[in-house]
Structures are given as C-alpha cells and as structure tokens.
Amino acid sequence: MKSIAHESQKEGRIINVSSEGHRLGYPEGICFDKITDKSSYSTLSAYSQSKLANILHANELAKRFKEEGVEITANSLHPGVIPKTDPMRYHSIVKCLFNIFVGPFSKNIPQGAATTCYVALHPQVKGVSGEYFSDCNVAKPSALAKDEELAKKLWDFSLSLTDPK
C-alpha cells in the first residue's frame, strides 16, 4: 500500500470495523496473559476485546503512517447493530432478548454499510486518520481505545505471535 500510495499520489485508506461492544470488555482492556486460555474464555469478553483491538490497531497504524510521512490513513468504525448479520446466532436466549429490545433500533444491511463506505470513499475524510466513526461521523470511543501505551503493547504482542523467528 505504501508504494502504491506513493506511485499513484492517491491517499490509501485502511478501515477496521469495530463495534460499540469494545466498551464491554475487561477493565484493563486486553488480557494478554489470557488470549489463548480456553478455561477463562467468555464469548462476550472475547468479542469486546477483539473490537477494542481493532480500534487500537487502527490508531497505532495511523500513528506509524504519520511518523513515516506515508499518505495512508487508518480509522475504525462502528457500523451499527445489524440483526440480519445474526451476531447472536449461537445464543438463542440472548438472541431472543436482543431482537425484542434492540431490534427496533437496529439498521438494515445498506444502513450498516453506510459508515464503512463513507470512511472509505468520502472526500471529507481525506487526511483524517486515527479516528473512530459511527453513523458517518467521528465518534468518541472508550478511554481504553485511545490508550497509546495499550495500542503499542498490542502491536508488539501481535508481532511476537507472528514473527517467524
């Protein structure tokens, strides 16, 4: 992406789809010591932690691109609650309650895609990086999602898991 952005003289955009569910996780944000611990696995906590990680990753990428002077932006977003994508498919009781209480306030698939398309394509987002969007607007994520030390720690942890050495 760096070379293509440079050669084409066009801004590249990276978008991480997250969720407002990033707010529901562990008090410390990411439990690095429990990432592969099957005995303490919780579906909700794992989901929340992964959505927080999506925001932190976008923020760290944005910071690194800015430091390198690369014309690529990185942002994250909440697409909205979209029941047709069936996020509760494995939790029948939760799914029923979800549909009763949240269903009337949810989005259809095109509405849910709107923020992703906006962040990816709209000229007003040119040069905007390291932000969290919801409903086609910059939104305020949790304090943990803006924690630069946590983002760096996640980046380094991820490298340690993927480094072939």
Catalytically active residues, by annotation = 41
Interstrand relation of 137-139 and 72-78 (parallel, antiparallel or unpaired): unpaired
How far is C-alpha 32 from the geometric centre of its chain's CA atoms?
18
- With residue 72 as reference, give the H or E element that holds it: strand 72-78
The C-alpha R_g of the chain, in whole angstroms, comes to: 17
Are 127 and 83 a contacting pair, CB within 8 Å?
no
| Sheet with 72-78, edge to edge strand ranges | 12-17, 72-78, 132-134, 137-139
How far is C-alpha 95 from the geometric centre of its chain's CA atoms?
23
Helix boundaries (H) for 9-91: 43-68
Q: How many residues does the chain have?
A: 165
